Structure 1
Amino acid sequence: MMPDFCAAYGCSNERNEKTKQKGITFHSFPSDKQRRQSWTIALRRGVRAKDRTVLCSCHFRPEDFDKSGQTDHQYALDPVKAKEKLAVSQESVEKLRWDLRNAKDRERRQKEDCGLLVGGFKKNKMLTEELEHKLKFYSDLPVELFKHPPCLHSCSKGICFNAAFAWT
């Protein structure tokens, strides 16, 4: 296979590992006749472009490239970099799994604690409407089971302090 050199006048960039590392890319002439002619005129060399004629990215502006929808292809990836990428991704997945498990454990413990609190409030007839509303937000427990009639003691905001001090 013959080497690919940039067709631009005075440019000696060759498609090889060195130019690849520099980030220089090579682009074939368009197959569309009108666009192909525009590229040929822009070269100002009077040379007719062949199927293997290429231009390097040094002769384009960044906005000339349409990067939408482009992805790395398996055949173009460096195997070492791909393996490193995979290892980082797997490590990230493991950390996320660990974090999820910890979060679920915390949630389970908090639900148990909430259940104990609701049980205590029920036992001491301290479940007010306001507290019920707040607990509904944080708990899956059916708090309507724990409703009680208003306290007969001298209470402030519906909370029975006599029962609160007795509950330990």
Structure 2
Amino acid sequence: MPDSCVAWGCKNRRTAQTKSRGITFHKFPKLKALRKQWEIALRWEGFSASDSSVLCSEHFREQDLDKTGQTVRIREGAKPSVFNFPAHIQRPVSARTTKTSRRAEESLPVDCSPQVKRPAPETRPPPNLDHSYALPADPTGLKARLSEALARVESLERDMRNVRKREQRAKTIVLSLLDDLSGKNVINEELEHKLNFYSGKMKIQ
């Protein structure tokens, strides 16, 4: 089936007719942070884009589109911002007057705008819960993830204790070797002083 735009109320599909109108279709970014911002901009409750999800060019400003090549591309970092949402999910837009405030708004990963529940059309892919920011609907799955994380932490702590023990044993061997060499007068005073400095031992008995 032709690709369909996943935006709210958009009926555009990848056909010869939309192509003749200059409408192009674009997949969601692979960069997780930007991909999440695209998903939030749609305001579909619980929506997670799949690899086949697309947005049409009508949801981007003209300056967001790079038409210099043979293929129309979305400029780096651009986000969809042109939608025709119903009144109950519109949000007031506050004017940003400084570069810092605008930059902060663009970098925010969350959006408190109202969202709508997305209908379940036959061609829509199910939400993808494999992303690190998505929580499983089943508490059992969340508990399993937590248990795995705790087990991983415990394993790393155990490895760290073993490494410290090996380090301590190595230091003991080195210091014992230095004592032995010093007792047999194998090393001179200058070398002994340097070895004491690096080994952390103040004086070889």
Q: TM-score, normalised by structure 1?
A: 0.44
Q: TM-score, normalised by structure 2?
A: 0.37
When you count helix as a share of all residues, which structure comes out higher? 1
> RCO (CA 8 Å, sep 6+): is it higher in 1 or 2?
2
